[in-house]
A and B are shown apart, each in its own frame.
Chain A
Amino acid sequence: MLGNNVKLGSVLLIYFLTNKFNLVPMQGNFTQNDLLKYLYAETDIVDAFMIEQALSSNYELKEDYTLFNNSKELLNEVKLSPSKATMDFIFAYSKKSLNFEQQNY
């Protein structure tokens, strides 16, 4: 928790400095793998902030991100559910195993 507070403080400090003094945002050398981790929320708070800064000013990076995000959005189109019969079976199995345990306790 202390680590997260330190990181958050760093992010806020960077944001304050870039905005107060019109500093050019640090761009870093972000790879497509970094973008993927950002896309799937696997980056820490500092990296996420840095990538967002870079995306706002790096056209190529933004293009790559858009490509990934569009494909990700399309994957969201597929969403399936199991049948009620299957769900009923599982719940019945669970109830039966619970009853068996209680009887044998």
Chain B
Amino acid sequence: MHKLLKISWLNVKNSVYSKESLLGIIALFSYSMLWVFLVHPAQYRLEGYDFEFGRFLYVIILYAAVCIIRNDIRFNTIKTIFTGVFTRTEIMISKGIGLIIWGVIFSVIVEINNILVSCILYKKIGISGFLAFDHLQLFITYIVITFCMGSLMVFIVAVMFSEKKSVLFIIGILSMVNFYTAAIPILVGNRPEIAKNFSIYMKTPFYNTVLLMQGKFNIKSVSINIAWAVLFFILSVFIINKREIK
């Protein structure tokens, strides 16, 4: 287990050190600062800025998850990895642990953004606003979202098993789903009677991810997302185990 953790950490570290990762973080904070300096809606508190940051971060989460396997296909390191001492299942478990590590990193990035926003908007939010924020819920939220949506992306890459950029198109679609369905949890929250119209959608990871990102933390959404994550992950492990590495 210790070895797997080390491999997972090294794997994440390799992605963190990449040029794409650096560009992603710069873009992420630039987007956040656009909201702080240019848009700054009057009704927005820290939660509002946190949600906007999370919407952009969602794209980065999907991309980071894709990179966890796609980079090995792209850089042809997959053959070396799959001929090492670890079984394919163990390698995939290390990738899963990698997703959780990414979740921790993302929650730290969100907190850095929250500190920045609180300091820049010190009159409106300030340190007291930052301290009033539920940091544990944020921490759990980003780990669960990264694990769930990351597992979905790992599953998609396992099925496609290609370095082709078409997977980036899927990231685009999922990001749009996240963006355009953000209103549904608010609608359901305001008018509970329409919940039955969305009953199936409410069981998907997409709905529950948006809900968690909006700060509506609840154990049911966390459990649904974890259940989906486990399902996607088991399927990915099964597919990878059956694959021929060409």
User: Is this pair of chains taken from one and the same complex?
Assistant: no
B-to-A contact residues, CB < 8 Å: none
